[in-house]
Structure 1
Amino acid sequence: MNNKSTGNMPRTNQTNWATVTTLTDADIIHDADSPSTTEADWQQAFTSHSAAELHTESVRRTRGVNKQPRKEQVAVRYDADILAYFRSTGKGWQTRMNNALKEWLKEHTA
């Protein structure tokens, strides 16, 4: 391995595999590097999503082939304040932006 601070160092495996292979689950659980947790350790724990929300979100994002594509993906540049406004409206901001452009077209086409 080439390291600026130590120069070239040979790769060596320093794991004592003979000891590792003889460890039982009890030995691993009580290892000082992975202490057991208690119920109190988890009292202040939180997640950003519940398991149900994660499952629903993953199912919602799964799509099949779009058989009748109605939209086309393109790269477009908008002013930062325009994007900030639509993004601040929450989920579905791109659809709302699309609808605003449709309204503009209705008003400005003959």
Structure 2
Amino acid sequence: MNDDHIIRRTIEAHKLPKLSAEQQALLESLAEKPDSEIDYSDAPAAPFDAKWYKTSLNPLYRPTKQITTVRLDADVLMWLKSKGRGYQTRMNAILRESMVRELQQQNQE
């Protein structure tokens, strides 16, 4: 594709067009509305679960792994290892699920 056909626009926050009095009033009335009164029927919320979280942002996203030392109760470590190879990956998945659940609860508050 030839770059001559590409239209580029830059929006600078300090050079935004002035809002009309009607537009300003609409924005102010929307800002005062509680979330419970906002109609989301045309854009239903997507479910926020661990699978969605990992794949929706970017299917190629791979978090950077960090080397750390963790002290675990012996029975917890034995349980993780009893499931077969990949106990560290399993531990990470359990922690990620807990993290996502907590973030979801915070977003709902």
Choose between structure 1 and 2 for higher RCO, CA contacts under 8 A separated by at least 6 residues: 2
TM-score clears 0.5 = no
Computing the radius of gyration from Cα coordinates, the structure with the larger value is 1
Q: Tell me the TM-score normalised to structure 2 length.
A: 0.36
Q: Tell me the TM-score normalised to structure 1 length.
A: 0.36
Q: Which structure has more helix as a fraction of its residues?
A: 2
